[in-house]
Amino acid sequence: MNIRKAVALASVMGFAMTLTACAADSQSGSQSEDGPITIACGAMEDWCQKMTEEFTKTSGIEANFVRLSSGETVARLEASKDSPEFDVWHGGPVDGFGAAKNADLIEAYKSPNAEAIPAEYRDPDGYWTGVYVGVLGFCSNQSSLDKLGVDVPSSWDDLLAPELKKQVSSAHPSTSGTAFTTLWTQVERLGGEEEAFGYMSQLHNSILQYSKSGTAPGQIAGRGEVAVGLVFSHDCVKYQEEGMTDLVVSFPEEGTGYEIGGVALIKGSKHQAAAQKYIDWTLTAEAQSFGPTVGSYQVLTNPDATSDDRMVKLDDVNLVDYDFVEAAAAKKGMTTRFDEEIASAPKE
Amino acid sequence: MTATLTPATVPAAAPAAPTTRTKTKRDIPTVVVIVLVSVALLLLIGLPLGKILVTAVSAEGLEVAQAMFTSPVNRKIVVNTVILGTLVGAIGTAIGFAMAYAQARMKFRGKKLLHLIALLPIVSPPFAVATAVITLFGRSGLITNKVFGLETNIYGLTGLTIVLALSFFPVAYMNLLGMLRSLDPALDEAASGMGANKWQIFRTVTLPMLVPGFGGAFLLLFVEAIADLANPLVIGGDFTVLSSRAYIAITGEYDVASGSAYSVFLLVPALLVFLVQRYWSSRRSIVSVTGKPSGRVREIEGWARVPLMVVVFGIAALIVTIYATVIIGGFVQILGVNNTFTLDNYRYVVQGIGSDAMIDTTVLALLATPIAAILGMLVAWLVVRKLKRGRGLMDFAGMLGLAVPGTVVGIGYALAFNRPLVVGNVQLLPAFAGGAAVFGGAVAIVMVYVIRSMPSAQRSGVAALQQIDPAIDEASASLGATGVTTFRRVTLPLIRPALLSGLTYAFARSMTTLSPIIFITTPQTKIMTSQILSEVDSGRFGNAFAYCTILIVIVMTVIGLLNLAARGRTPVPVAASGA
């Protein structure tokens, strides 16, 4: 009986102590001007980790990250806008940043370092700045394609081949910025939203399942679960390097979309000074050059940053004329429509 | 000795209850317990559910709800959800019963091992199974493709059913095993004395006694299956269910109204099954622990064992293969593609944000476990022994944490606790959930752990108490003990095995739960299961496997310690048939 009492008491005390410990933690955090800052990170997890680590090393400011897909980030910012849980949003297509700007979730910040970045990679109002550029491509598994007797796809229409039924993987545009880039690319390529949805509902028959995260389709193709994954080509290159040697990258000849990966200050950040320091740092050549060291071969926006043969040559690929402002404005309506009309529709 | 009365069983409340020696049923300590339990339940489940209902009947929510009936796509999702729940409920209960019956009534070597294998899925996050199943049986699966050269499609209903049944059957197994063990063998002896053969005994004595168990197991599995959202995301293919749809609506669009509306549709079948099961099992009395001596179980031997043994060992082999895949998968580059040995996955997990997640998750689960077990036992005791009016309501409220799908609980918590609770001008509670919450949102996570694992403690408590003759309580009361004293000195020792299994299960469950947690994780409080989901979803199976292995090791260690501690404190087995 006594032992039982002691255990009960101990558990109560344990509870109380842990709570006090946590309380102490969160207090010292929220009152400091220099962080720790929390970053909503939209790129590859190891990229996020490298960036925060190196930033802490150079600045002494503690930085944490949560890896979130672009749609998720906007949802989370919306949910906590009265008292934001993040300070900076780093990485992921700027279509999402534009949506956040329209929803008043991010704040304009013109970093002194932004001057170095070409104007086409910056928001004219200074809400976001581009840190990298990625091109949407087909990430195919050569041996799966061979088994199916299909050539490496070189056109959007190739994906509609009956042999590729349930052999293509794409992310869900509601959560993934990559998948929204795919969706908006169809709008630019075919000339309108109706046409884009027409294509996507045809493509739906080829899709195995819609993943949450935009980088997943490359992995799924790499393991041979599907023949083709729709991802940014740099993600495909990363997986090749990590041992998925069957993967090949190709681009649709009628034109493909691209992303500008952005960085932005969250509105109402509690550590604004530190957050701005972080943004300044991400625009330097030095910071951007850490990308390739962890296998992320996006084209970097700072002209002085490292260049690598494994990065895509923007001049060699036929790019659609991607209107980021229009895309951002249309994002919410289109993803909802996609979710309702396409994602859960039965397949023929 | 009996004069000092400290309700050691209510550590969270622990006000010095006055010592009374009334002989009425409703003595003061009991009333205090009733009030405290009611307040706890109201806060833990009443408030979040209320918020969801309010949001769902908002204008936007009603629009979505209406579309449920008008749009064929939505109707299909509802039908899919019910089909999945029914299949998993039936198959999982069957597997659980096969394993439990073999364990309790058959003679063979390797029983202990089989028991451990059957419990393995409990101590692991459900998508460990999904991920391994894809690796083993997917399009380029190690077994289907590399061994048999097949091109199977595991994505969709088939894969989901297999994965969910394998993940959740241990619940059925534990419940049914407990019931089988506590059945009085004297009944079998009586039947056989009257000339019944083994099959007749099984059909007319054993099975009817287990009906409440089957009903309970089916209920649990049905609800687990329709509430699960990780597996539909990973292996669902084009088989869309309500939970994954609600998840996309909320995480992708922050469309709380549709999310709530979908949740309510998830809630309806769950509650229906729950009510049906309750009505059905309440019609039979299953008192079998009477405090009277009983005989010993005669285990089945010889050829009669063969069919069941084949099934049981087949399933065990499948489980072992799956977990071997998880463990091996953590140590190679990309299992099935590049099988070179590496420690990179572990390095990534341990050096990255994984270590924070491990500590946070373990600490929070450890906090929640005793609270859940004690609350569950108290509710069980009140329901079976103390309450006359309102017992149904109390039992129902207690079970809601489980009957309500995890997705719904999660959304409800996000709605209810993201902002401080203000009534009038008084702030009753600070914000518990979300990034700006006190303690980095940890309180809400502990609360979710408690409400989700409490019902299993309550269920095992109710089942155990129903089998104990009330005469034992009455004897204690007639000797002058209060309700609480009787609970502590008489009832608790009798239901200790059930309490221990409740505790064990509560901890494992907290560590491996995802659906409700994913809506309330914050940057400050990292939870392993949600980290694993993000690894699986991004396709980094190696990291996910490493995470899962670490999670399994943590759960096993804590359960081992718990069992050791319990053994140390129980020198004398309490019930001859129970221990």
Q: Residue B417: name the closest of B393, B401, B433 by CA.
A: B433
Where do we find the tokens 């005989």?
B295
What's the pLDDT tens digit per position in A289-310? Answer: 999 999 899 999 999 998 888 8
If you search the block for the tokens 């290159």, which residue do you land on? A237
For residue A57, pLDDT over 90 is answered with: yes
Mean pLDDT (whole number) for A172-200: 94
Q: Between B506 and A198, whose confidence is greater?
A: A198
pLDDT at B476: 83
One fold for A35-133+259-314 and A134-258+325-343: yes
Burial class of residue B48 (count of CB atoms within 10 Å of its CB; 0-12, 13-18, 19+): buried
pLDDT-based confidence at residue B281 (cuts at 50, 70, 90): low
Phi then psi for residue A314, to 5 deg, are: -60, -30
CB contact under 8 A, B436 and A80: yes
Maximum mean pLDDT: which of A196-210, B114-128, B271-285, B464-478: A196-210
Return d(Cα A207, Cα B513) in angstroms, integer: 29
For residue B567, what pLDDT is reported? Answer: 67
User: What is the per-residue pLDDT across B436-478, written as a single tens digit (0 to 9) for each?
Assistant: 667 778 888 999 999 988 887 887 788 778 777 888 888 888 8
Least confident piece of the model among A235-239, A261-265, B420-424: B420-424
The answer to the question of residue B15 being in a domain is no
Contact A84 B435 (CB under 8 A): yes
Q: What is the CA radius of gyration of chain A?
A: 22
What mean pLDDT comes out for the span A8-24? 45
| A122 bridge partner residues | A129
Torsion angle of the four alpha carbons A262, A266, A270, A272, in this order, in degrees rounded to the nearest 10: 50
CA distance to A152, A311, B301, B325, per residue, from A320 (Å): 21, 19, 74, 44
Q: Tell me B438's DSSP state.
A: G
Residue B458 confidence (pLDDT): 85
Please say if the pLDDT value at position A31 is more than 80. no
pLDDT class of B72 with cuts at 50, 70, 90: confident
Best residue in B353, B417, B443 to probe A by mutation, most A CBs within 10 Å?
Answer: B353
Please report, for residues A133, A284, A326, the alpha-carbon distance to residue A300 in angstroms, rounded to integers and kept in the order given. Answer: 6, 10, 24
The number of beta carbons lying within 10 Å of the beta carbon of residue A57 is 8
Residue A169's SS3 state is: strand
State pLDDT tens for residues B390-446: 888 888 888 888 778 788 888 888 888 877 776 666 666 777 766 566 777 888 899
Q: Which of A23, A207, A213 has the CB atom closest to B538's CB atom?
A: A213
The fold adopted by the segment(s) A134-258+325-343 is D-Maltodextrin-Binding Protein; domain 2 (3.40.190)
Q: For residue B7, name the pLDDT band (cuts at 50, 70, 90).
A: very low
CA separation for the pair B153, B158 (Å, rounded): 9
**In 3D, which of B495, B552, B256, B467 has the Cα closest to residue B373?**
B495
Residue B578 within any structural domain of the chain: no
Domain annotation covers residue B216: yes
Q: Which chain A residue has its CA at the smallest distance from B250's CA? A: A75
pLDDT beyond 70 at B5? no
Asked whether the beta carbons of residue A244 and residue B538 sit closer than 8 angstroms, the reply is: no
Where is pLDDT greater, at B296 or B114? B114
Contact B238 A346 (CB under 8 A): yes
What value does the mean pLDDT of chain B take? Answer: 80
Number of domains forming the structure of chain B: 1
Residues B103 and B116 sit within 8 Å (Cβ to Cβ): no
Exposed, middle or buried: residue B344 (CB in 10 Å: 0-12, 13-18, 19+)? middle
Residue B568 is predicted with a pLDDT of 57
3-state SS string for A28-89: HHHHCCCCCEEEEECCCHHHHHHHHHHHHHHHCCCEEEEECCHHHHHHHHHHCCCCCCCCEE
pLDDT: is A109 or B74 the higher one? A109
Q: Please state the φ and ψ torsions of residue A66, each to the nearest 5 degrees.
A: -125, 125
Q: For A219, which of B252, B366, B539 is closest by C-beta distance? A: B539
Most confident listed range (A150-159, B274-283, B540-549):
A150-159
Measure B418 CA to nearest chain A CA, in Å. Answer: 8
* Prediction ipTM score: 0.75
Q: Which residues of A touch B414 (CB under 8 A)?
A: 79
Please count the residue pairs, one from chain A and one from chain B, whose beta carbons lie less than 8 angstroms apart. Answer: 192
Does B16 map to a domain? Answer: no
Q: Closest Cα partner for B462 from B403, B513, B392, B406? A: B392
Is B577 within the bounds of a domain?
Answer: no
Peptide linkage before B420 cis (omega within 30 of 0): no
pLDDT digits (tens, 9 = 90+) for B118-155: 988 887 776 788 889 988 988 878 888 777 777 777 88
**Closest partner residue to B134 among A66, A71, A225, by Cβ?**
A225
Q: Which pLDDT belongs to residue B25?
A: 52
Residue of A nearest to B363 (CA): A18
Residue range A35-133+259-314 forms a domain whose CATH class is alpha beta
Nearest CA distance, B271 vs chain A (angstrom): 25
Structure-block tokens of residue B316:
């065990």
Strands A168-171 and A207-211, bridge-based pairing: parallel
Which among B8, B248, B534 has CB closest to A174?
A: B248
Distances (CA, A) of B491 to B27, B28, B176, B191, B462: 17, 18, 21, 30, 11
pTM for the structure as a whole: 0.78
Domain limits, chain A: 35-133+259-314, 134-258+325-343
Mean pLDDT of the region B176-194: 82
Q: What is the CATH number of the domain that holds B60?
A: 1.10.3720.10
Higher pLDDT, B376 or B69: B376
Q: Which of A166, A175, A207 sits opposite B248 (nearest CB)?
A: A175
DSSP three-state, residue A209: strand
Average pLDDT of the residues in B23-40: 78
Domain-located, residue B322: yes
Instruction: Read off the pLDDT of residues B218-269 as tens digits, 9 standing for 90 and up.
Output: 887 888 888 888 888 888 887 888 888 888 888 777 777 888 888 888 888 7
Q: Which of A226, A246, A344 sits opposite B77 (nearest CB)?
A: A344
CA distance B99 to chain A (A): 33
| CB-based contact B155:B237 (threshold 8 Å) | yes
- Measured between beta carbons, the chain B residues lying within 8 angstroms of A80 are 418, 434-436
- Judged against a pLDDT cut of 80, whether residue A6 lies above it is answered with no
Q: State pLDDT tens for residues A183-192.
A: 999 999 999 9
Band (pLDDT 50/70/90 cuts) for residue B3 is very low
Task: Please count the other Cβ atoms lying within 10 Å of the Cβ belonging to residue A323.
Answer: 14
Instruction: Tell me which residue range forms the domain holding B142.
Output: 28-291+303-569
CB contact under 8 A, B337 and A223: yes
Domain contains B261: yes
Q: Quick check: is B222 in a domain?
A: yes
Contact A79 B238 (CB under 8 A): no
